[in-house]
Structure 1
Amino acid sequence: MSFLKFILKNPFRRKNSAILAIVGIAIGIIVIVALGAITDGLVNTFEDTIHAGGADFSISGKETGDSAYGTNTIDASWTDKIVAVEGVDEAYPIYVVLTSVGDDYMNTLIGIDPVGTALADISMKEGRIMEDGENEAILGEIYADDNEYEVGDTIEIDGEDFEVVGIYESGDSNMAGGVFTSISKVGELMDDEDSISNIYVKVEKGVDAQEVADRIDAKYGDNITTITSVMEMEQMA
């Protein structure tokens, strides 16, 4: 008997072992294919989350610091510099701080230009967006539910009374547990109107976001960091 015939006939001499081996190999292949599909699904979901608010990428400080994002704050003038970069359509700064909000000694307070809320991962559930420079705030639905706040209530932020003018929802649970007011009010509360935490950036229609991010890195990379969906994908992988 040739060696080839021996190989072909041998598995069928022990049918049970052969069947178990085949089933085992098949299960292994199915698991690998399923894990691949799940991974692709997670990547797509993460990509959707990054773009949920409309921003293509964001910009933060270069150095590690003690801000709410773990990086140093950057000068507010960076917003104008980023807007001037070729391919950038919109850029809105945010100022994220940890301060006393309501009954919480420390909670996330996010300051943003009211117009720029379109680039944040939020959508209004009740009420309206706060007005710039006013003692008005909008609360994430999780925060509002947990603390029993409604539109029209008053909430104390860093020792000042703010009117709750809206409740928003978000796909980000951390964001849904936060509180927004205008960035000018956060700067006033912190006595630091020249600092920001991040900048949301949206590129012009038809322009590749990664190319614009690379352009910003090439020009300003020594001072700021661009956080793009592509970079986040690599970190996830």
Structure 2
Amino acid sequence: MRALLQAIVLLLILIWLQTCMITAEDLEWKSATATYTNQTNGSIIIEGACGYGDLHKASYGKYSAGLSTILFNRGSACGACFEVRCVDHILWCLQGSPSVILTATDFCPPNYGLSADYGGWCNFPKQHFEMSEAAFAEIAEKKADNVPVQYRRVKCARRGGLRFTLSGSFHFYQVLVTNVGLDGEVIALKVKGSKTGWIPMARNWGQNWQCNVNLIGQPLSFEVTTSNRRTLTSYNVAPASWQFGQTYEGKQF
């Protein structure tokens, strides 16, 4: 029994050390580049690769960003928050190197027909942020085409609870998860009806998750796991009378 307890304690220490290492690595400033795209409403996009739709309704607004391939990581980075600041350019960077907090909402596709230094800024393995004009103007002169930046992962500050937007049909059920706090990056989602156990959902695209099951007429609960291995369970988020196209709010990390 004593040997078992020692083994459990050692395992917990190793997990804690690994978490600390990951956290320390995320807090380090890393080098990248940034550009901006023109949008009349202040957002980078309305519909993007993460599936958030209207970014103002999703609460990300002008502080949304498209990420290059290596940062986007096939959509798993959707919802993650990054602190970004302009550096090492006396002509374009604003004095004092102010920073902005961005939420990953879209994919910046590569353009291998152009040089990585001129137009092909999102070519693999470049680390690049495509920002809104309004957010870009807070760290650099808008006359700049492409500026050197530093970035680091930060916790996401959100108001209200996690939001679950339901869509699908009788036998295809999809959930879009938004407004996620902490690291903002959902890596696993489960749903439970009043007549079912916990059902793991698969990533469809971005932060849209799906399962092939009929849950109509059942109150729904959700279990969300983020990339830092924190799990949050919200019971009976959607009532039995829930409808496709509606958004329901659960707990927050």
TM-score by length of 2: 0.29
Name which structure has the greater RCO, CA cutoff 8 Å, separation 6+. Answer: 1
Higher helix share: 1
Higher-Rg structure is 1
TM-score by length of 1: 0.30
